[in-house]
Structure 1
């Protein structure tokens, strides 16, 4: 049965594994993926202190996490299990994300993403907001988007 619920801290490794498999789906090399594994590891602490939700269809097939700092809100994670990409789970998580942000009175959030995922976020209503250097590969410039459709 399809369900979206709050992630549990003990699920951090499952979420990390989904993020790694999802990022590897796009054909990134092993050096890139080694860095990804350390930078984008989902921790129990992150889940405890930040809105983090999973989508289940018998098993967890995707998740998102919002990082709220003093100045900005970031979509820190939104990953789908590769075998489930293209089945609408990303869109369902996005709708849930937007509703979560509205309930928390968040007016906008920033998305720093891979070029491969940029189109998804543009379709969901995010707009280009510059570019930044990747944390994973020196000299790699990646898209920075913003979503303001919350007010």
Structure 2
């Protein structure tokens, strides 16, 4: 069973690392991944002002998603770790995302 837990403002580096690892699954070059690693930041304000949730299974983090709030909610990020891809977790998480929009 998956759980969806609010990310904490100090978890920006964790979010970045999940994103980078997930992008690595999709075949981006090591050079591009390193560039993103050095430039991409999830500021605490971003986490506080939007819906940012860690996706966990058996208390282990397997991904995260972020919805930017406004007149229209937008899915800004949705990433699963490579070991969680292809197991149906994305579908379950996306159903949760739809409930929150």
Aligned to 2:65: 64
Unpaired runs of 5+ in structure 2? none
Tell me the distance in 2 between the aligned counterparts of 1:99 and 1:73: 12
Aligned to 1:4: 4
Unpaired runs of 5+ in structure 1? 102-151
Runs of 4+ off more than 4 Å: none
1:113-140 CA-partner distances (Å, limit 9, x unpaired): xxxxxxxxxxxxxxxxxxxxxxxxxxxx
Q: Helix, strand or coil: the match of 2:27?
A: coil
Tell me the distance in 2 between the aligned counterparts of 1:23 and 1:3: 22
Tell whether the 8 Å contact from 1:12 to 1:43 is kept in structure 2 after alignment: yes
Q: With a CA cutoff of 8 Å and minimum separation of 6, indicate the structure with the bigger relative contact order.
A: 2
Q: How many residues are matched?
A: 99
Q: For 1:84-123, what aligned pairs fall within 5 Å after superposition?
A: 84-101=84-101
Aligned to 1:27: 27
TM (norm. structure 1) is: 0.58
Tell whether the 8 Å contact from 1:62 to 1:89 is kept in structure 2 after alignment: no
Q: For 1:68-87, what aligned pairs fall within 5 Å after superposition?
A: 68=69, 73-87=73-87
Bigger radius of gyration, 1 or 2? 1
1:69-107 CA-partner distances (Å, limit 9, x unpaired): 57x543211000111111222112211111110xxxxxx
TM (norm. structure 2) is: 0.82
Considering only aligned residues, what root-mean-square deviation do their CA atoms show, in Å? 2.0
